[in-house]
Amino acid sequence: MNVLLLEPNYHNKYPPLGLMKISTFHKSRGDAVSFFKGTSTEYQKRFGNKRWNRIYISTLFTYQYNKSIEAINLAKKHTRNEKIYVGGVAATLLSDNYLKDVEINTIRGLLNAEGKIGLKGDSKIDKMIPDYSILDEIDYKYPTNNAYIGYTTRGCVNKCPFCAVPILEPKYCHYFNLKKYVKEIKRKYGEKKDLLLLDNNVLASERFEDIIKDIKDLGFERDAKTSNGKRKRYVDFNQGLDARKLNEKKAKLLSEIAIRPARIAFDHIELEAQYRNKVELMAKYGVLHLSNYLLYNFNDKPKDLYKRIKINIQLNEDFETKIFSFPMKFIPLNAKDRSFVGKYWTRKQLRAIQTILHATHGVVGPKREFNERAFGETVEEFETLLWMPEEYIMYREEHERSDARKWREQFENLSKQDKKILKEIIKNNEINISILKQKANSKVKKILKHYGILQKRAQTKIEDFSL
């Protein structure tokens, strides 16, 4: 059987674990497996008009829906519809859309039940060793390419409203034999430097102690190095650690492995006390490299994001931690693009955050001075910054002493009512002419002149740093 594994042509950090396991499964049956990620021209060059017995397509974020549709349309040219198997996160969450738009019945959830791809033994795919060799078939280089990638648990015990895990992996599994899994990868594909664990909530496991022991036994104890002694190894639970479940005992256990960074979630400002407490706990056990995603554009207000950034800066100073955080824009689970605007946000403010993050490369690092420059020294400064013309945010140095200063003066001099009108006019990140005509007085019209043609220069530069 000729099998093609196809990853949509989007940028992603981690190799497609599901496809790598499907490769192992098919190769164990004696099938010929190829892996492809790229443009249709590149596909044509490599495979021409070759026909496939099966094509598997992975999907990831729902907002990359269009990229996955491109991959499906490519697959349709080279096999029959019923031989196309589309799985992964977006395929699970948007299965109705795939059926309606491209007439594909997607595979929902994990490949851990009989019959999902209609072949004998397919229920074991999820627990199989990923085939790392397929990664050599493509030019694309995944930023994370020297790690054992796996799980020690599955699912999550919580049901947070913004999270897809309860749908994707509804059953919590407390333990998976990581030792056997990693040893087998090492035997087949050689030693990997790091250990990347995709657990959704490892701290909920009743067998957390066993998991830590397994990790240590595999050579990932604190300060561990690769077997040639040359490189430091790191363990990363990249989906984060549930602060609610972190206690003294678990913090101590975590400190016994080469964890870096420890990702402690700080999803909303109400968690401040708990979050501070848990960062302090990790610091007590010498785990100083910390990280988190700062979810925004959900039920939060812009100032809540700023406060969380400031809290991280302060914690770094208090406990000598190095917290790197990544503001992450909330997008509804079934959104097919990134255009969602939360109820306390506007498109203009979201755009401003993207512009700031462009300068910081998407990261909020531990340096106070740098962050205060990027996000403002006070919450008021931050809130004002979000209404500043994009050009001035983007090219701060260039405009600071001239146009941006004038803008700031004019903005500060607007009455409360005028500010409200200005915000109404620009909130969708474009000038609302009808509100302008109806409501703007001379002061508002004057400041609006800053939001002009110059915008274009900034707009073409900004990438979306939402993760």
Tracing tokens 């910054």 back to the chain, one arrives at 385
Q: Which stretch binds ligand SF4 (CB under 6 A): 129-137, 161-169, 367-375, 376-384?
A: 161-169
Nearest approach in angstroms of CB 266 to ligand SF4 is 12
> Which residue lies nearer to ligand SF4 by CB, 242 or 300?
242
- Residue of the chain from 38, 166, 219, 362 that contacts ligand SF4 (CB under 6 A): 166
Nearest approach in angstroms of CB 165 to ligand SF4 is 4
Nearest approach in angstroms of CB 139 to ligand SF4 is 33
For the record, the structure tokens of 64 come out as 């990359």
Residue 293 binds to ligand SF4 (criterion: CB under 6 A): no
- Residue of the chain from 102, 119, 163, 454 that contacts ligand SF4 (CB under 6 A): 163
Q: Are 291 and 366 in contact (CB under 8 A)?
A: no
For the record, the structure tokens of 240 come out as 């984060």
CA 345, CA 379: separation in Å to the nearest integer?
15
Residue 160 binds to ligand SF4 (criterion: CB under 6 A): yes
> Which residue lies nearer to ligand SF4 by CB, 121 or 170?
170
**Cβ neighbours of 159 (radius 10 Å):** 10
DSSP 285-322: TT--EEEEEEEESSS--HHHHHHHHHHHHHHHHHH--E
Nearest approach in angstroms of CB 330 to ligand SF4 is 11
Nearest approach in angstroms of CB 327 to ligand SF4 is 16
Measured CA to CA in angstroms, residue 162 lies from 117, 159, 305, 307, 434 at distances of 29, 9, 17, 21, 35
DSSP 260-295: -SEEB---SGGGHHHHHHHHHHHHHTT--EEEEEEE
Q: Which stretch binds ligand SF4 (CB under 6 A): 47-55, 106-114, 163-171, 305-313?
A: 163-171
> Which residue lies nearer to ligand SF4 by CB, 17 or 198?
198
CA 326, CA 293: separation in Å to the nearest integer?
5
Residue 372: exposure state from Cβ atoms within 10 A (0-12, 13-18, ≥19) = middle
Touching ligand SF4, residues 219-258 (CB under 6 A): 242
Residue 156 binds to ligand SF4 (criterion: CB under 6 A): yes
> Which residue lies nearer to ligand SF4 by CB, 200 or 455?
200
Residue 165 binds to ligand SF4 (criterion: CB under 6 A): yes
Alpha helix positions (H), 127-241 = 165-168, 178-189, 208-217
Nearest approach in angstroms of CB 319 to ligand SF4 is 24
Nearest approach in angstroms of CB 158 to ligand SF4 is 4
Nearest approach in angstroms of CB 295 to ligand SF4 is 9
Tracing tokens 């443009």 back to the chain, one arrives at 39
Binders of ligand SF4: how many residues, by CB under 6 A?
10
Nearest approach in angstroms of CB 100 to ligand SF4 is 27
> Which residue lies nearer to ligand SF4 by CB, 17 or 163?
163
DSSP letter, residue 129: P
- Residue of the chain from 45, 159, 187, 367 that contacts ligand SF4 (CB under 6 A): 159
> Which residue lies nearer to ligand SF4 by CB, 69 or 295?
295
Q: Quick one: which of 137, 117, 142 has its CA closest to 128?
A: 117
CA 186, CA 228: separation in Å to the nearest integer?
15
Q: Which stretch binds ligand SF4 (CB under 6 A): 162-170, 322-330, 395-403, 454-462?
A: 162-170
CA 323, CA 336: separation in Å to the nearest integer?
32
Q: Are 307 and 296 in contact (CB under 8 A)?
A: no
Q: Cβ contacts of residue 372 below 8 Å, gap of 6+? A: 313
> Which residue lies nearer to ligand SF4 by CB, 86 or 246?
246
> Which residue lies nearer to ligand SF4 by CB, 201 or 312?
201
Residue 169 binds to ligand SF4 (criterion: CB under 6 A): no
Q: Are 183 and 136 in contact (CB under 8 A)?
A: no
Nearest approach in angstroms of CB 306 to ligand SF4 is 22
Touching ligand SF4, residues 183-212 (CB under 6 A): 200-201
Name the region of 291 (left: φ>0; alpha: ψ -120 to 50; beta: rest).
beta
Nearest approach in angstroms of CB 244 to ligand SF4 is 8
List residues binding ligand SF4 (CB under 6 A): 156, 158-160, 163, 165-166, 200-201, 242
